[in-house]
Amino acid sequence: MIFLVFSACCTVTRDDDTLMHMIIKDTECLLFDMDGVILDNTYDNNFWQNQIPSVLAKKRNISFGDAQRLAIQIFNYKKNSKDWYDLDYWSNMLDIDIEEEKKAKESYEKIKLYTGSLPCLEKLKNKMKMILITNAHRKTLNIKLQKYDLSPYFDEMVCAHELHYVKEDIQLWYMLKSRYKIDFTRTVLIEDTIKNIHVGLSAGISKAIYLGNEKCNMSDKIIGMSSIDDVPSAFN
């Protein structure tokens, strides 16, 4: 079952084989997001909302609650910017070794795949070009790949940071298209952030599969699915 995302901030459930075939026809490349699509967000949410405030509280001799509020204030200042995803930036800003904290056992154990991720990637990897495009810093990506090696499923694994933009910036998509010789007219983006989808579509990407819960405006280029388990059915 698929659901179309309509305007007026509502979702309408509908089976539509015609629309599915509109997406799969002549698809040459799949662009996969990682966090919230292949991996769940527990690791990252816990790290920034709990682990770092806990370290800050001890380092600055303040309460955990005060440390959480301070962290939120600092993080929000850089939200959706290149620095937001830059581990080196936050290490310098907070005087904390962010990479080492991310490797800590209590944090590392929270890195989890969605149950349908590997079956999905296995079914699709030989059908078309597969590119992972993530806002995560390369150090964060490497930590996650140590637990789950996703590299056999992808032709390229791209960190937006290394292209000097983030996915919220249309220039990232132009850079990606140019560097990796992608025909956007035959490309499908699989994302859980609706803003990134709209920016990608504005850059010329043909279609998008949305795996999130945000409300969004109508677009005949966006198909919503409940989980990554459903994605292969769009390319049979």
Q: What is residue 3's predicted lDDT score, i.e. its pLDDT?
A: 31
pTM equals: 0.86
Q: What pLDDT digit, counting tens, does each position of 180-227 carry?
A: 999 999 999 999 999 999 999 999 999 999 997 776 664 678 988 889
Q: CB neighbours of 174 closer than 8 A, spacing ≥ 6?
A: 203
First-to-final CA distance of the chain: 14
Which superfamily does 2-40+114-235 belong to? HAD superfamily/HAD-like (3.40.50.1000)
Q: What is residue 206's predicted lDDT score, i.e. its pLDDT?
A: 93
Nearest Cα to 1, choosing from 234, 235, 236, 212? 234
The alpha-helical segments, DSSP class H, found in 31-97 are 42-46, 52-60, 64-77, 87-94
Q: Tens place of pLDDT for every residue, the chain, 236 residues?
A: 333 332 333 343 334 444 444 456 789 999 999 999 999 999 999 999 999 999 999 999 999 999 999 999 888 877 777 888 899 999 999 999 999 999 998 889 999 999 999 999 999 999 999 999 999 999 999 999 999 999 999 999 999 989 999 999 999 999 999 999 999 999 999 999 999 999 999 999 999 999 977 766 646 789 888 899 999 988 87
Cα(139)–Cα(87) distance, integer angstroms: 7
Cα(212)–Cα(73) distance, integer angstroms: 25
Q: Where in the chain is the domain with CATH 3.40.50.1000?
A: 2-40+114-235
